Amino acid sequence: MGKNWTDRLPDLLQDYQEAPPEGLWDAVSSRMVSRKRRIPAAVWYVAGGLAAAAAAVLLLFLRPSAPVPSVTVVPGDLAQVTPGPVIPEPVPTTPVISGPNRESPAPKSDGGVPENGTPPAKTGQNDGDVPENGTPPSPEQEMADQVGHDEASVTVIPGSEPVIPRTERESPAPGLRVTLASSGMQQHASATTQGYGLPSGIITKASGEQDAPDYRMLGRNKPSTADTRYSRLPRWSLGVNIGLPFRLSLETGLVLSPLRTTAVAEVGSYHYETRTDQYYLGIPLYLQYSIWEGRRLGVYASGGPMYQFAVATRTRTTTTPLSGGNTQTIAEDKTLCRDALWSANLALGLQFRLFQHSALFVQPGVTWYFPGPEAPQSLYTEQRTAFELTFGYRVQLF
């Protein structure tokens, strides 16, 4: 047998039983039955999140097509184009490009009648030109005028060949943006349990403390009512947004999410309150799609996963004698409660460009949390779907 005598122990003890602790079944069954959640609030959050997601999907499919720039060519003479990312092609006639920040070439004083007799196109109203002959601008020119200064547009005179391809703005323009944001919405769930003895959510001894009084023994087998509340404090994030083609961009960065669990119980002669703050650091990877972008306002959809892991834990229990007396702290603990989880987020954002290279944004959305099977009880395990409102500031670097 020798050193392998320990191999017999599992067989020896496989049917060995001990009496379960007194009151265990009552405690288990009462916690199962008495669990209460804020179902009405959760329903609203889920409904709000689904509505935001549905709106994002609808907008993606039903968005109006971008205004189509048109090309104006005056064969043999002038074409007037407001600036934009234009890729010129060889043309039989030579276009002249003008815009709000450039001087328009003066029309030829001889009237500039092109070879085929078609009168020259009018410039946009932004340069103050008055058509020489007083003719009101053509519909195409009016459309070109209505296009923003930063849009490329070239008006086509019917019958002429469009020689400059249509320009399409792909926004957001490729580049790098830094984002600072905060999610101010606090979600919370709560549970009320009834049982015996001190609930496990109440810590009474910090790690490493060996000689502290055992409050658990004081409260053993005494009926207890515990209220536990789970919430998330304002979340902060710093992100980098990388612009891609086709109206897409990728955002990543760091997100700090503090979770708070407060457990309050009255057991025996004492009132206990434990507050646990668990800090998670998250790394998101969100894909954003610009649905619509105007001169100042923009609407976009965003979605993607985030990986979060716990980086700090702080727990503190205070107790107050029910007969009256001072509240005292009986346990403080900073042992990290290790945890990591994935989440998925879907949001719709509204952006307001304050200055040329920066914008404020507000972004309602919904997040689904996927905690592991052994995750500590927190908002992430008690309310796995959350509606969030994020607001922040983006600065374009280049």
Partner 1 sequence: MNPDEQELSRLVRSKDPDGIRCFYDRYAGYLAAVCSRYLTSEADVEDTLQESFLLMIDHMGRFEYRGAGSLKAWASRIVANQSLKLLRKNGRLTFLEDLPDLEEEEDFSLPDIPPGVIQEMIRSLPDGYRTVFNLFVFEKKSHKEIAALLGIKADSSASQFFRARAALVKKIKDYLKEQNNG
Beta carbon of residue 394, minimum distance to partner 1 (angstroms, whole number):
41
Single-letter amino acid code for the residue at 270: Y
- Return the residue of 37, 166, 188, 220 that touches partner 1, per CB under 8 A: 220
Q: Which stretch binds partner 1 (CB under 8 A): 36-44, 202-210, 267-275, 358-366?
A: 202-210
Q: What are phi and psi of 343, to 5 degrees?
A: -145, 160
Per CB under 8 A, 115 contacts partner 1? no
Single-letter amino acid code for the residue at 30: S
The CA distance from 75 to 93, in Å, is: 5
Q: Which stretch binds partner 1 (CB under 8 A): 193-201, 231-239, 250-258, 320-328?
A: 193-201
Per CB under 8 A, 44 contacts partner 1? no
Q: Given the complex with partner 1, which of 150 and 209 has the nearer CB atom?
A: 209
Helix (H, G, I), strand (E, B) or coil at 304: strand
- Return the residue of 6, 109, 135, 323 that touches partner 1, per CB under 8 A: 6
> How many residues in the shown chain lie near partner 1 by CB under 8 A?
41
Length of the chain (residues) = 398
Per CB under 8 A, 324 contacts partner 1? no
- The DSSP output letter for 205 is S
Q: Given the complex with partner 1, which of 289 and 380 has the nearer CB atom?
A: 380
Beta carbon of residue 32, minimum distance to partner 1 (angstroms, whole number):
7
Greatest Cα pair distance, the chain, in angstroms, is 117
Per CB under 8 A, 3 contacts partner 1? yes
Could you please report the per-residue DSSP string of 66-113? PPPP-----TTS--EEE-SS------SS--EE--TTSPPPPPPTT---
Contact status, residue 364 vs residue 52, Cβ threshold 8 Å: yes
Q: Where does the chain have alpha helices with state H?
A: 9-12, 24-34, 39-62, 139-146, 215-219, 379-382
Per CB under 8 A, 61 contacts partner 1? no
Per CB under 8 A, 2 contacts partner 1? yes
Closest residue by Cα to residue 36 from 195, 190, 224: 190
Beta carbon of residue 179, minimum distance to partner 1 (angstroms, whole number):
37
Q: Which stretch binds partner 1 (CB under 8 A): 75-83, 208-216, 295-303, 387-395?
A: 208-216
- The DSSP output letter for 271 is E
- Return the residue of 109, 128, 374, 398 that touches partner 1, per CB under 8 A: 374
Beta carbon of residue 259, minimum distance to partner 1 (angstroms, whole number):
17
- Return the residue of 21, 85, 105, 325 that touches partner 1, per CB under 8 A: 21
Q: Which stretch binds partner 1 (CB under 8 A): 67-75, 118-126, 194-202, 232-240?
A: 194-202
The CA distance from 232 to 211, in Å, is: 34
Strand 96-97 and strand 80-82: the pairing is: parallel
Q: What six digits make up the tokens of 17?
A: 């039983």
Per CB under 8 A, 39 contacts partner 1? no
Per CB under 8 A, 250 contacts partner 1? no
147-150 long-range contacts, Cβ below 8 Å, gap at least 24? 147/67, 147/69, 147/82, 148/294, 148/295, 149/82, 149/99, 149/100, 150/84, 150/295
Q: Measure the CA angle with vertex 74, ends 71 and 76; round to 5°.
A: 135
Beta carbon of residue 146, minimum distance to partner 1 (angstroms, whole number):
59
Q: Which stretch binds partner 1 (CB under 8 A): 85-93, 135-143, 215-223, 287-295?
A: 215-223
| Torsional class of 38: left (φ above 0), alpha (ψ -120 to 50), beta (otherwise) | beta
Q: Given the complex with partner 1, which of 270 and 300 has the nearer CB atom?
A: 270
Beta carbon of residue 337, minimum distance to partner 1 (angstroms, whole number):
7
- Return the residue of 37, 166, 188, 216 that touches partner 1, per CB under 8 A: 216
Beta carbon of residue 380, minimum distance to partner 1 (angstroms, whole number):
15
Per CB under 8 A, 314 contacts partner 1? no
Beta carbon of residue 67, minimum distance to partner 1 (angstroms, whole number):
53
Which helix (DSSP H) or strand (DSSP E) does residue 315 occupy? Answer: strand 297-321
Residues forming contacts to partner 1 in the complex (CB under 8 A) are 1-3, 5-10, 12-13, 15-21, 23-25, 27-28, 31-32, 195, 197, 200, 205-209, 214, 216-217, 220, 335, 337, 373-374
